[in-house]
Chains A and B, each alone.
Chain A
Amino acid sequence: NAGVTQTPKFQVLKTGQSMTLQCAQDMNHNSMYWYRQDPGMGLRLIYYSASEGTTDKGEVPNGYNVSRLNKREFSLRLESAAPSQTSVYFCASSEEGFGNTIYFGEGSWLTVV
C-alpha cells in the first residue's frame, strides 16, 4: 500500500543547477499538490493540479515549474536552483473537491549550496 511516493529522498544541488522531483500516487486521486516545509513557517503550497491536464499556482510558485504527466504522476522542477530553495518538499494527493483529506508522501530533502 504505497500511497504517495516521492523521489529522490535526499539531494544536494549547486546554485544554478536544475533538477526534477518525481511524485506518483496509487490511490486513483484526481488532485495532486507540491508543498514545501520550512522551520517555523508550516507547509506552503507551491503548485497544485486539481485534475489531470490542469495546474495552478499556489502560495510560493516562483522558481518552480510542474508537470502533470498523467493521473498518477506530478513532477516539480527547479530550473535554476537557489539557496532559498533549500527545504523539505512534500507531494500530496486527494480526491477532487472540497473537504477531502490530503495524503502526503514521505518528503524530499533538498539542499542548495
Chain B
Amino acid sequence: EDQVTQSPEALRLQEGESSSLNCSYTVSGLRGLFWYRQDPGKGPEFLFTLYSAGEEKEKERLKATLTKKESFLHITAPKPEDSATYLCAVQAGNNNDMRFGAGTRLTVKP
C-alpha cells in the first residue's frame, strides 16, 4: 500500500533560521510528488510538483527536491508569513488521485 510520511510533525523556527521538512514515500510507480501549503481555515494551496529523482523546484524562499525515496522542502531565511502547515502528496501507479501525508506544522517566530 502506498505510504507517505512527513517529519517533523511540528517545527518552530526563528525568523531567518533555515531548515528542511521531510516527506518519505513508499509507492509503486511514482507519477508525481506534490507540495501544498495550508493556512488555518483554508484549503491546500499548490506549491510544487516533482516528477523524477534529481528534480528541483524553487519559489521565493522555498526549494523542493526529490530522490527515489523522499522529498525535502528547504526553507531559506523564513519569515513569519511562511507559518503554515505544509502537505506532501504522491500520485502513483494507475491512480488518478493523491495520497497525502499528515503534514508538518511550521511556525516562524519574529
Question: What is the interface of chain A, defined by CB distance below 8 A to chain B?
Answer: 4, 31, 33, 35, 40-45, 48, 50, 58, 90, 92, 94, 96-99, 101-107
Tell me the bound Cα distance from A34 to B95 in angstroms.
Answer: 15
Tell me the bound Cα distance from A102 to B34 in angstroms.
Answer: 9
Tell me the bound Cα distance from A92 to B34 in angstroms.
Answer: 14
Tell me the bound Cα distance from A97 to B31 in angstroms.
Answer: 10
Question: Using Cβ atoms and an 8 Å threshold, which residues of chain A touch B49?
Answer: 99, 101
Q: Determine whether B103 belongs to the interface, using a CB cutoff of 8 Å to chain A.
A: yes
By the criterion CB–CB under 8 Å, are A106 and B102 in contact? no
By the criterion CB–CB under 8 Å, are A42 and B100 in contact? yes
**In the complex, how many residues of chain B place their beta carbon closer than 8 angstroms to a beta carbon of chain A?**
23
Question: What is the interface of chain B, defined by CB distance below 8 A to chain A?
Answer: 4, 31-32, 34, 36, 41-46, 49, 51, 87, 89, 91, 96-98, 100-103
Tell me the bound Cα distance from A41 to B109 in angstroms.
Answer: 26
Question: Using Cβ atoms and an 8 Å threshold, which residues of chain A touch B31?
Answer: 98-99
